[in-house]
């Protein structure tokens, strides 16, 4: 990948997501990337670095502060919100859905900026997927734990083997049309009350 | 011209006029503020449904998002600061996309709050009475700033919500009226409305101008003192509007008319004190403002806690949602906004600018839907009537904007 001379500023309160984006930008040949996690002092950074592209999380309420900065600082020459090409509605929609917003210095060739935005969008999406997977993995782990506990209670109180306890839980879940983890949770709660 | 005579019943699908409604579900973006009341009431209390519309209310976090999501068709309509459509028609800001308003969401709601630290020094230096007027407060701040300058102290940081906002122009108006240059004697910064009270408490800012309920939240917490209300600066000052894309309005004229009829009924309802309990309850909900119901109830009644020490003030009509044509989008008001943009260097004066600014306000759509309008011209001299004066006594003549701006000055001491 050819080296890029574009200066890029990433503002993201989520440090992990920010580093994922930074990595992606570096891989794409952008070496002038600055990442900040809060907007304090952003005015000075913009003034000294004069970024060509600023990427900011769309849920960050400080976007309004950026608008104010652009009114004041003459150093940032006419940045435009988000979008390289207003007719590229697919990019605009995917960016908004992913939660990316960006400011781009006017006059920059759109092909150059489009690849940066595409990258930011895909990294934002990848991060959301990662979070989703993590949450699912966590809840799966929790479910396994509660089933183990329920099994233990059944084995102890009814003298069942591990297989029998598991089969009983599964059969009950099927009969009641519930998830096994739910049955297990009720059992653990009930046992807690009774013992 | 549309005339609705048969609005009886909740007949969802049946249009009241020839031609089916173009769109039934409208996505409406808003920022959690009491001045979104009319939109929220239209969605929550059946006024939209009665016109065959459903409002899907979408809460957002910044005015820049509201602007962009309206521009890029994620919203059909939006709760907006009145200077935003004007700025967009003038091509100002980082994403100026044509935006109009056929309906204003009412008058009032803003106030200026200073930190107690600052206010207590103003009492001392400015020999201020607790019951001082907005202008006296501004002059006392000017005296204090002089002392602070002499002692080499840092200039106070004051928060507004957006560069093209009523708050920006009202704060600047108040400061300049007191003899303070907003670009030299203080530092204006942008703080999102819901963060103002925390920012003041943390000392990140020394004051702010913002809409309800955030001034009251800060004063009740004992971190701020309210020194001026919007009514003190100019009672008729434009506030929030319902904004839309002009091309959408043109291709959805029946929908726009239905929307205006629904909003007009909702605004009338919001103006009735008996409905304030219901309204407060809806507004306090986490889907909307997510603020204490008691404070919202007080704000609607115009009962002001100036500070946590018990200094109170009753401001009649702190919110006017409908009365005296509060919803009429008067193009002369767009021109006043234009004059303030010029005054503070956001744009320059010329004939094209004058036309562009006025075109953001669309009384023709209001009249087409409701068939009524205030008597008098759309562009008139403002601030010349008893009860509707500017705090410094100046009068706005839209026909002589350059002179008006020259007379106002920028608050810089000679």
Domain containing A149 — which CATH number? 1.10.10.10
pLDDT at B312: 87
Within a domain: B338: yes
Query: Where in the sequence is the domain holding B194, given as residue range(s)?
Result: 110-236+305-312
Same domain, A92 and A144: no
The pLDDT-based confidence of A22 (bands split at 50, 70, 90) is very high
- Is A64 in contact with B192 (Cβ distance < 8 A)? yes
pLDDT at B23: 82
Rounded to a whole number, what is the distance in Å from the CA of B188 to chain A's nearest CA?
A: 9
Question: pLDDT tens, A131-160?
Answer: 888 888 988 899 999 999 999 999 998 899
pLDDT at B21: 59
Residues of A in contact with B162 (CB under 8 A): 64, 67-68
Q: Which of A71, A79, A82 sits opposite B163 (nearest CB)?
A: A71
Same domain, A76 and A124: yes
The number of folded domains in chain B is 2
| Closest to B270 measured CA to CA, from B321, B314, B231 | B321
pLDDT at A96: 84
Q: How large is the average pLDDT for residues B104-128?
A: 93
Q: How large is the average pLDDT for residues A157-185?
A: 92
The number of folded domains in chain A is 2
Residues with Cβ within 8 Å of B9's Cβ and at least 6 positions away in sequence, in order, are: none
pLDDT above 50: residue B3: no
Q: Is B94 on the interface with A (CB under 8 A)?
A: yes
The whole-angstrom separation of Cα B297 and Cα B310 is: 17
User: CA of B163: which chain A residue's CA is closest?
Assistant: A68
Q: With residue B122 as reference, give the H or E element that holds it.
A: helix B116-125
Same domain, A102 and A147: no
Which neighbouring-strand residues pair with B110? B211
Within a domain: B409: no
pLDDT at A74: 53
Query: Where in the sequence is the domain holding A29, given as residue range(s)?
Result: 4-133
The pLDDT-based confidence of A92 (bands split at 50, 70, 90) is confident
Q: Is B347 on the interface with A (CB under 8 A)?
A: no
Boundary (domain end) residue, out of A133, A152, A171: A133
The pLDDT-based confidence of A80 (bands split at 50, 70, 90) is confident
| Closest to B46 measured CA to CA, from B9, B21, B80, B18 | B9
- Is B65 in contact with A67 (Cβ distance < 8 A)? no
Within a domain: B191: yes
Question: From the CB of residue B362, how many other CB atoms can be counted at a distance below 10 Å?
Answer: 22
pLDDT above 60: residue B372: yes
| Closest to B7 measured CA to CA, from B41, B44, B45, B52 | B52
Residues of B in contact with A68 (CB under 8 A): 160, 162-163, 189-190
Q: Is B72 on the interface with A (CB under 8 A)?
A: yes
The whole-angstrom separation of Cα A187 and Cα A184 is: 5
Phi then psi for residue B58, to 5 deg, are -120, 115
Same domain, B269 and B143: no
pLDDT above 90: residue B413: no
| Closest to B103 measured CA to CA, from B257, B318, B294, B278 | B257
Which position has the higher pLDDT, A96 or B277? Answer: B277
């Amino acid at each position: 990948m050819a080296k890029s001379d574009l200066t890029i500023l990433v503002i993201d309160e989520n440090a992990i997501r920010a580093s994922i984006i930074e990595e992606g930008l570096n891989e794409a040949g952008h070496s002038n990337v600055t990442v900040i996690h809060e907007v304090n002092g952003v005015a000075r950074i913009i003034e000294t670095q004069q970024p060509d592209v600023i990427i900011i999380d769309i849920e960050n309420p400080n976007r309004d502060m950026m608008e104010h900065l652009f009114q004041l600082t003459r150093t940032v020459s006419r940045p435009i919100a988000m979008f390289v090409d207003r007719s590229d509605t697919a990019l605009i929609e995917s960016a908004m859905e992913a939660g990316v917003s960006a400011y781009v210095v006017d006059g920059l060739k759109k092909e150059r900026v489009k690849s940066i935005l595409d990258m930011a969008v895909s990294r934002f999406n990848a991060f959301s997927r990662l979070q989703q997977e993590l949450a699912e993995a966590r809840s799966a782990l929790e479910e396994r734990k509660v089933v183990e506990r329920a099994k233990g209670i059944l084995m102890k109180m009814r003298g069942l083997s591990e297989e029998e306890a598991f089969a009983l839980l599964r059969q009950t879940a099927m009969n009641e049309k519930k998830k096994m983890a739910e049955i297990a949770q009720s059992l653990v709660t009930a046992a807690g009350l009774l013992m | 011209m549309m005339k609705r005579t048969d609005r009886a019943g909740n007949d969802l699908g049946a249009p009241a006029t020839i031609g089916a409604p173009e769109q039934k579900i409208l996505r409406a973006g808003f920022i959690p503020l009491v001045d979104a009341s009319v939109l929220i009431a239209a969605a929550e209390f059946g006024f939209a449904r009665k016109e065959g519309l459903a409002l899907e209310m979408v809460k957002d976090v910044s005015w820049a998002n509201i602007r962009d999501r309206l521009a890029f068709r994620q919203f059909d309509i939006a709760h907006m600061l009145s200077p935003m459509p004007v700025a967009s028609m003038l091509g100002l800001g980082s994403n100026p996309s044509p935006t109009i308003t056929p309906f204003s969401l009412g008058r009032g709601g803003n106030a200026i709050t200073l930190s107690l630290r600052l206010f207590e020094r103003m009492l001392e230096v400015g020999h201020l009475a607790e019951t001082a007027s907005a202008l006296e407060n501004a002059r006392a701040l000017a005296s204090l700033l002089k002392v602070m300058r002499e002692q080499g102290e840092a200039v106070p940081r004051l928060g507004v919500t957006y560069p093209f906002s009523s708050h920006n122009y009202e704060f600047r108006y108040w400061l300049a009226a007191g003899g303070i240059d907003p670009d030299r004697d203080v530092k204006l910064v942008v703080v999102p409305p819901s963060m103002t009270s925390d920012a003041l408490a943390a000392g990140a800012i020394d004051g702010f101008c913002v809409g309800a309920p955030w001034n009251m939240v800060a004063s009740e917490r004992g971190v701020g003192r309210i020194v001026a209300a919007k009514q003190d600066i100019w009672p008729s000052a434009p506030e929030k509007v319902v904004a839309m894309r002009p091309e959408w309005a043109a291709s959805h004229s029946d929908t726009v008319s239905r929307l205006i009829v629904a909003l007009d009924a909702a605004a009338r309802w919001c103006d009735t004190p008996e409905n304030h309990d219901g309204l407060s309850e809806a507004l306090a909900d986490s889907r909307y403002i997510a603020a204490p119901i008691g404070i919202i109830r007080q704000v609607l009644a115009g009962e002001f806690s100036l500070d946590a020490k018990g200094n109170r003030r009753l401001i009649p009509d702190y919110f006017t949602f409908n009365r005296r044509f509060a919803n009429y989008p008067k193009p002369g008001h767009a021109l006043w906004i234009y004059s303030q943009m010029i005054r503070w260097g956001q744009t320059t004066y010329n004939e094209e600018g004058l036309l562009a600014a006025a075109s953001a306000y669309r009384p023709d759509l209001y009249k087409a839907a409701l068939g009524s309008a205030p008597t008098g011209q759309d562009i008139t001299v403002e601030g010349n009537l008893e009860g509707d004066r500017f705090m410094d006594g100046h009068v706005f003549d839209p026909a002589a904007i350059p002179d008006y701006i020259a007379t106002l000055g920028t608050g810089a001491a000679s």
